[in-house]
Amino acid sequence: MIFSSDSIELFLAVIDHGSFSAAARALHRVPSAISMAISNLEAELGYALFVRESRQVRPTAAALALLPHARVISEQLQQLTAHAAELSEGLETRLSIGVAADIDNARLMHAISAVSARHPLLAIEVTTQPQDDILRLLRTGRVDLCVAYGGLETSLQEDFHFVGTETLVAVISAHHGSELLLASELKLDDLFHHRQIVIASADLPISDFRQLIAGSYWRTNSLATAVNMVKAGLGWGNLPISVATPLAREGSVRILPFSNVANGLKLPLYFRWLKQNPLGKAGQELLALLKEG
C-alpha cells in the first residue's frame, strides 16, 4: 500500500512545516527518518512530491494535487480514532430520538447539533410523531429516548427529567367563516361547537384529553399539516405559541381572545427513556444541554 495513515501524517507534516527538520520536531522523530520515509514514498509513487532546497522543501504540483484528499483522509482517521475511543467510554453506537409532533423542536435541534459536533461519527435518527405514537415507539424500544409531554400518569417503566414547558394557544384562520373570527371576547366553551384540528395518532386512542375541547375534531399526525389545515379554515387548533405568534403577526391566523381563561395551555416537557435502557454518553449530553436551555 503506497499511502498509509503514517505516510499521510508525514506528508502533511512536511507540507505544513516546510522542511524535514521542522516536520520531525512536530512528530517527535529524527529528520533523517522523515527524509527517508518521504523518499521511499516518492519511489513507490514514481514521481517527486517535494523539491529539495537548502533548508526547506517545496511541494510539487503532484503533491498539491494530492493534498486536499490527504487532509480529508487525515481528518476522517482522527475522527475514527476518537470515535473508537468514545465507544469504549460508553458512547452509543446509534442514538434514536423521538419527539412529539406538536412540540416546537427548535431547542431540541440545537442540542442535537451540539451533540453531533462533539461526536461527528455518531449516527443520530430523529422521529417525529404524535405523542401516543412516540411513547409507543419508546416503550417498544424503537427509539432510545424522547421529548414528549408529561403524562397524567407516570409509568414505572420510564425514567424522565423535566426540560421545560410548551405553551399551546388556540388559533383560527383569518378567513374562517364564523363568529370566532369577529368576536372581541369569547369563552372557552364557545369552541365546543366548532371543529378542532388535533395532532394525534391515526390508530391509537387519544390518551391525554387536556388539549381536546371541541365536540368534533379532525386528526393529523403532523404539526406542519395542522398549521395548514387551520390556515385553510378547516377548523381551529392549539398550536405552540412560538409557531402561532409569527402566523398571527403575518395575518394568516387569529389568536383567540378569551374572557374567562387565559389563552395559553402550558404543558410540561419531559426527556423520557426506559429504566432498563439507561442513557449513554450522548443521551446524557443531550439531556444536559436541554436542561441548560
Report the relative pairing of strands 158-173 and 196-199 from DSSP bridges: unpaired
pLDDT above 80 (res 89): no
pLDDT above 90 (res 260): no
Residue 98 bridge partners (DSSP)? 127, 146
CA distances from 181 to 177, 185, 260, 291 (A): 7, 10, 17, 38
Q: In degrees rounded to 5, what are phi and psi of residue 273?
A: -155, 165
Percent of the chain with pLDDT over 90: 66
pLDDT tens-digit map of 38-88: 999 999 999 999 999 878 899 999 999 999 999 999 988 888 877 787 777
Cβ-in-10-Å burial (0-12, 13-18, 19+) of 258 comes to: middle
Read off the pLDDT band of 4 (50, 70, 90): confident
pLDDT tens-digit map of 166-218: 999 999 998 877 777 777 778 888 888 899 999 999 888 888 777 788 889 99
Per-residue model confidence (pLDDT) at position 91? 83
pLDDT above 70 (res 153): no
223-231 and 241-250 are packed helices; what angle lies between their axes, rounded to 10 degrees? 30
Task: Compute how many other C-beta atoms are within 10 angstroms of the C-beta atom of residue 89.
Answer: 8
Task: Compute how many other C-beta atoms are within 10 angstroms of the C-beta atom of residue 123.
Answer: 10
Question: Within its chain, how far is the Cα of 50 from the centroid?
Answer: 44
Cell numbers given for 199: 395532532
Whole-model pTM? Answer: 0.74
Q: Between 89 and 188, where is the model more confident?
A: 188
Domains of the chain: 5-88 (1.10.10.10), 94-159+271-292 (3.40.190.10), 165-267 (3.40.190.290)
Closest CA to 75 of 12, 160, 129: 12
